Chain A
Amino acid sequence: MTNMIGLILSESYLQLNGLTDKRSVEALPIAGRYRLVDFMLSNMVNSGITSVGIVTKTKYSSLMDHLGSGKEWDLNRKNGGLHIIPPYSGRGIQGLSEGTIDLIASASSFIRRSKEDHIILSKGNIVANIDLKEVEKFHEENSADITLVYYESKEATNRDLGDHIVLEVDDNCRVRGIEIRPIRPKSRNVFMNMVLMGTGLLQYSIDEAYARGDRDFIRDLLIKNLSNLKICAYKFEGYVGFVHSVCTYYSANVDMLKEDVRREIFNSSRPIYTKIKDQVPARYGSEASVHNCLIADGCIIQGDVRDSIIFRGVNIGKNTKVSNCIIMQDSVIEAGCELKHVILDKEVTVRDGGRLIGDLTHPMIIDKGEVV
C-alpha cells in the first residue's frame, strides 16, 4: 500500500507548432496508441496511488475526452479516483492562473480532502516507466522534506541541458543547487519535474507562497528553501523521454523502435494504460512490406513502411512508401504516395500520388483533418 496521492500539472508554456494548436501537450498522441499523460498516470496507478488530480489550464477538451471517468486507469473509484481540475480564477486573480503555484493552489481542495501523507507532483510530458513506491521509500529512508526525481543525461550537450532544470546533488543525495535552463550547467542531472513531499508541507508552503504573491514553484519554493528544508534527490536509472519540442516529440516516438526501450517502457508488470478503442487487429495486404515499425490495431497496410510509428486505424495504400514518419490515428495515405520525415496529425488524408518530404531535424507537420 502506498501513502501517496498524485497531482499532474498541465504544462502550458510548451508549443509544438500545429500539434498543440488544439490540445495541451499532455494530450499529444504518442507511441502508436497512447497520449503523453498515460505514462505518468499509469506510473501513479502502478505504484498503488488511487487518487489522482490533473490540473488543466488551456485547450483541455482533448485531454478530458481521453480521460473520461478514468475507468481505463482503474480510477473510477468511490474513494479517491480521478479528479480533473479545470482552470480557476479566484482570490483576486484576474483571468487564468499564471504559475505553477497557482496551478497547485487550484487543486487545494483536492489536496485538503486527501488522507494520505505524501503527494507526488509531476508534469504530464514525460515518457518513463518509474516505480514511485521506490521514490517514497527513498524519501522516508532519508527523512527528506522534499524529494526531487532526476536522471543523469550522459550524452546531453550543454545546449540540450539549456532546456531543462539541472540539479547539483551531493554524495548524501542532498540537493545543493538548482539551475533553471543553465547556459553552463554544473552537472548532467536533469530534474524530471517530479516532486514527492508531505501533503501538509505542500499545503502550508502553497498558502504561504500565495500570501506573498509568489508564483513559481521551483524559484520561490525550492530554491529559496534549499538550506531550510531537507531537499533530497532520487536518481532514476531508466529510460526518460522528455517531450518539449517537435524534435523531442519525434525522438520520443522513434525511441520505441528500440527493443530495450520498448521492453522497459511496456514491461508487463507495470503496464501503460490508455483509452480502449475496440479496434480490430491490423491487416497486412499481399503487397505489404514493413520494416522496423510500431503498428497499432485497426490499420490496413498495403504499402512499404519503414522506421515509422503508425497509430490506430491508419490506412496505407498500395505502392506507397512511408519512411521515418509518425502517422496519427485514422489518417489515410492513398496509393502511390511517398512520405519521409513527416508527422501526420489525426484524420489527415494524403491523396493518390502525394509526395511529402520533411527533414530529420524539421519533420513536416500536417495538421489534423487536412486533405493533402
Chain B
Amino acid sequence: MARIECVAMILAGGQGSRLGVLTDEVAKPAVPFGGKYRIIDFPLTNCSHSGISTVGVLTQYQPLDLNTYIGNGGPWDLDRNNGGVYVLPPYVSMSENKWYKGTANAIYHNIQFIEKFNPKYVLVLSGDHIYKMDYRKMIDFHKEKEATATIAVMSVPWEEASRFGIMDADEDGKIIEFHEKPENPISNQASMGIYIFDWENLKIVLEEDEKDENSSKDFGKDIIPKMLSNKMPMYAYRFQGYWKDVGTVHSLWEANMDIIADPPLFNLNDSNWRIYSRNPIKPPHYISNDAVITNSCVTEGCNIFGDVDHCVISDGVTIEKGAKVRDSVIFPNVHISSDAVLEKVVVGEGTVIGKGAEIGLESKDDNPYASHLCTNDIVLINGNIKIPDGAKIYKNSMVRTFDIGGGDRT
C-alpha cells in the first residue's frame, strides 16, 4: 500500500454522561447539532478539507448509530480506494479482551491498523468538539519545529482554566510544563485535545505506557507527561477561532445558540469550508401563512405553522399552529402540537409534545424532574417519547419519560 503521510484517529468512544438522556442510546459524537449535523461531522469535515483521507474512528459506547451514520464515508468524501474512513470498535483477541481502557489504550490497540498505512504522522482528534480547523497548517508547524508532538492550544478565560489540560510554553512555542486540570493554573493556554505525533516515537511511548500498571492510559494524564519527562521536543500550536467542547447540556445549547447569533459567533455558512454531513432526503421546509419566524435556523423537511423565535430547528420537525417556541434546540422529526409553549428547551429526536404543554416557563422548588445536569433554566426532553397534552414541565428539568419521571431520580 502506498505510504500515507498522516493518519487521523478520532476518539469517539466517550459515553458523554453529562449530556443525560441525549446519550442514553447514542454515543456523544452522534448527537445532533446545528440543525442538520452531528458532532462527529466537524472533525470528519476538517479532515476532509485538510486533505487527510485516512481516518480511523474509535468507537466503543453505543456505536450502532455512529456506525450507520458514518457508513462508507461518502458524505465527507472519505470513500477512497487508498485509505478512507474506518470505524474501529474494540475486539477480542486470542490472549485478551481489548476493550478500550483509555484514550491512549484505544490507539495502542490499533497499532496494527496504523502500521498498515506506514504514516509519518498520526493526528489524534476528539469526536466531541465543534470547530473548523485546517490541520495542514498544524502539520506544517509540527514539521517546521521538528517536534515529536504538537498540541493545539487556545486561550481560555482564567477562571475556566482548571477544567482543561493547561500548557506552559516558551516564546517559540516549546512546551515546558503540562498539567491536566490543575487547581492553580500557571497559564490560560488550554489543550484542545488535538495532537500530532511522529508515529515512530508515539508507538514506542504507547508500548511503554501499556506495560505501566499505574498508568490510566490517557493522552492528557499519561502520554504527554511521559513524553515531556523523556525530553522529547513538544510544541504548542496556537489556534485562534471558534472551538467548543459540547460535553454538557448547557454548552451544547449554547453552541447551538452561537450559530444563530447575529452575526453568528460560529459561522457554518462558509463556502470555503462547508460542513459535510449525511443529508436527510427531504424537501425544502415550508413556512405557512400563520407562521412567525425570526432569528432562527430551519432546515429541510420542516413544516412551520406556529411562532418560532431564536431556535435551531432540525430536519423533519413540525410545529403546529399556535405553538410558541423560543430559545430552543429542536432535534430531528420532533412534533410540537398546537398551543404548546417551549422556552429554553432541548427536545430529543422524534419526540411528540402534546397540545398546550408548557415547558420551561416557570421554576418550582420541588420539581420532580430537576437534574443537576440541566442548569441555566434549560430543560432537556428525551427522544422518542410523548409529552401529554397540557403537561407542565419546569425549568432545569430532565425528562426521561413523562409519568415515570426523570431528573436525578432515574
Contacts and interface: CB of A to CB of B under 8 A. Distances in A.
A binds B: yes
Interface of A: 31-33, 71, 256-257, 259, 262, 265-266, 268, 271-273, 276, 278-298, 300, 309-311
B283 A283 contact: no
B32 to A, nearest CB: 12
A310 B274 CA distance: 20
A31 to B, nearest CB: 7
Contacts of A297: 36, 284, 299-300
22 contacts: A31-B284, A33-B283, A33-B300, A262-B286, A271-B282, A276-B279, A278-B279, A280-B34, A280-B297, A281-B298, A281-B312, A283-B260, A284-B295, A284-B296, A284-B298, A285-B294, A286-B294, A291-B288, A291-B289, A292-B289, A296-B300, A300-B269
B51 interface: no
B161 interface: no
Nearest to A34: B283
A259 B321 CA distance: 14
Nearest to A257: B286
Contact of B297 (A283, A290, A294): A283
B284 A32 contact: yes
Given A278-B277, A284-B293, A284-B294, A291 B299 contact: no
B331 interface: no
A295 B283 contact: no
Task: Identify the interface centre among A271, A287, A309: most chain B CB within 10 Å of its CB.
Answer: A271
A280 B295 CA distance: 15
B64 interface: no
Contacts of A31: 283-284
Given A262-B286, A272-B283, A296-B284, A282 B277 contact: no
B277 A295 contact: no
B285 A282 contact: yes
A283 B275 CA distance: 16
Given A285-B294, A286-B262, A297-B300, A280 B289 contact: no
Contacts of B275: 278, 280
Contacts of B276: 278
Interface SS of chain B: loop
Contacts of A287: 294
B74 to A, nearest CB: 7
A314 B96 CA distance: 57
Nearest to B300: A297
Nearest to B270: A280
A38 B262 CA distance: 36
B329 interface: no
B268 interface: yes
A262 to B, nearest CB: 7
Nearest to B333: A268
A309 B290 CA distance: 17
A261 to B, nearest CB: 11
Nearest to B308: A284
A295 B294 contact: no
B287 interface: yes
Give the top 9 A-B pairs by smallest Cβ distance, nearest first: A32-B284, A281-B35, A281-B299, A296-B284, A281-B297, A266-B283, A271-B281, A280-B268, A290-B287
A165 to B, nearest CB: 29
Contacts of A262: 283, 286
B27 interface: no
B291 interface: yes
A76 to B, nearest CB: 10
B278 to A, nearest CB: 9
B286 A288 contact: no
Nearest to B279: A276
Nearest to B277: A278
Given A286-B295, A293-B286, A296-B285, 19 more contacts: A32-B284, A33-B283, A33-B300, A266-B283, A278-B277, A280-B274, A280-B297, A281-B298, A281-B299, A282-B285, A283-B260, A285-B262, A290-B293, A291-B289, A292-B289, A294-B286, A295-B284, A295-B298, A310-B284
